[in-house]
Amino acid sequence: MAAQSPKTIQRQLMPKKIFILLPDGVGLRNFAFSNFYKIGQEKNFNITYWNNTPFDLKKIGFEEIKIKNAKPNPLTDSYKNARKHIELNLSIKKEKDTVYDSYRFPFSFKSLKGTVKSCFAKFFILINNSEKGLEKVREKIKIQERDTEFYKGCLETLRKEKPDFVFCTNQRPVLAIAPLLAANELKIPTGTFIFSWDNLPKATMVVETDYYFVWSEHMKAELQKYYPYINENQIFVVGTPQFESHFDQGIIEDKAQFFGKHKMDLNKKYICYSGDDATTCPDDPQYLSDFANAVRKINEEKNYSLGIIFRRCPVDFSGRYDEVLVKNKDLIVSIDPSWEKIGEGWNTVLPTKADVNLLTNTVYHSEMVVNMGSSMVFDFICHDKPCGYFRYNQENQVDKNWDIFTCYNYVHFRSMPEKNPVFFMDNATSIATSIEKVLEDSNEIKVQAKEWFKIINQHLPQLASQRTWEAIMQIVK
């Protein structure tokens, strides 16, 4: 065997340089505000955030390179939308299941630009609505993006910085395509994290990388089902860092401190109401009102002393809850998420490290959570606390075409154990009884919720960042 040169040996001994690509703000919570960075440093990685968010990571002591002039090809959005619709069409055909129709967003014709993009997308769907057509669309996206100034700028950055691996925090944004293609051109290995538990059936994959990081074996099977061109040896099951903070006892505040800070009554036990955005649940204020009425009834008839913590959806700055909150100000305490609104769009509302701590303490100091079908069930079961889902439509709906049962038909809810891991509230009059039962005995629901959590997220959940870095270490070796 030939002896290695001194330069080769020196290169092998140097810390591996890892680029963490943040194409938008949704990856901040998982990969900047968790222990992910600290663990990577402890493993002797040289970490740089390739940052396309307005958030200044240097303020919290991280190395970063700001992405400038990030602009996709004018046709990429249309091709991306076409890809999504074609994938959904193929899923309907293969699975003989129309649930995939519910994942479509309506085409926009409100502006000239939106109309042009929508018309192009519809045309691309029409001429490419097949497996072979889907391959053409995927290739066309790559060709278009390689022709942009943004792509050329990414090449320049990568040639200068020479990272050993580029890790994308989110598989959905169009602006992640060019940086990853540039890395591919320079033979730098790439990987992407699948951001959310419901993303894969919804056809949200925009990027294509050498490796894929998923939450669980369940998600791995989904990835191979919906994207059969991805091989098993390209997939790492790591979990998700978003639940790690719940296992950090160092951030838990004393009860008196937390209650005093948020003007809560130390004599009350609080149930968390986790809000949705206006698109996901247009009738959410009415469900909050129904819930407040039920809690008031329990307090009056059963001599309980319950209150409600209202945590609104972080991207909902509307006044649609105001009337309910004023009417029930003796019962409801609002603890708003600590997110920063940097621009006008929903994607310019960014999480903060402070909110990670706030959410953890809100969960810790609540008895349970209620909402419409959110992943907060998993945040609460980290603290051995139950979750309830609303499962009825309002009589006076804001949007007559909206139906709460559409939510529970989604593919990701089919991962539930046979025995319910949540309690369902099937009408306004039964809420009080449901809450009473759970306050008296929630053991079976919590057992099933823990089983569901194990299906959805690799256990132990607090080791997700650790497993991710171990996977990256395998790749860069």
Average pLDDT, the chain: 95
Rounded-to-integer distance, Cα 182 and Cα 156, Å? 9
Write down all domains in the chain, each with its CATH number in brackets. Answer: 12-72+148-240+462-476 (3.40.50.2000), 76-137 (no CATH), 247-456 (3.40.50.2000)
Q: Dump pLDDT digits (tens) for 445-461.
A: 999 999 999 999 999 99
Q: Dump pLDDT digits (tens) for 82-93.
A: 999 999 999 999
Strands in 269-274's sheet, in edge-to-edge order, are 332-334, 306-311, 269-274, 369-371, 387-390, 423-425
pLDDT > 90 in the chain, percent = 91
Q: What is the pLDDT of residue 340?
A: 83
Q: What is the pLDDT of residue 360?
A: 98
Instruction: Find, among 166, 183, 178, the residue nearest to 70 by Cα.
Output: 178
Q: What is the pLDDT of residue 344?
A: 57
Strands (DSSP E) contained in 80-147 are none
Task: Give the pLDDT band of residue 349 (cuts 50, 70, 90).
Answer: confident
Rounded-to-integer distance, Cα 269 and Cα 253, Å? 16
Q: Dump pLDDT digits (tens) for 163-190.
A: 999 999 999 999 999 999 999 999 999 9
User: Which residue did the predictor score with more confidence, 229 or 2?
Assistant: 229
Rounded-to-integer distance, Cα 433 and Cα 440, Å? 11
pLDDT > 70 in the chain, percent = 96
Q: Dump pLDDT digits (tens) for 202-257.
A: 999 999 999 999 999 999 999 999 999 999 999 999 999 999 999 999 999 999 99
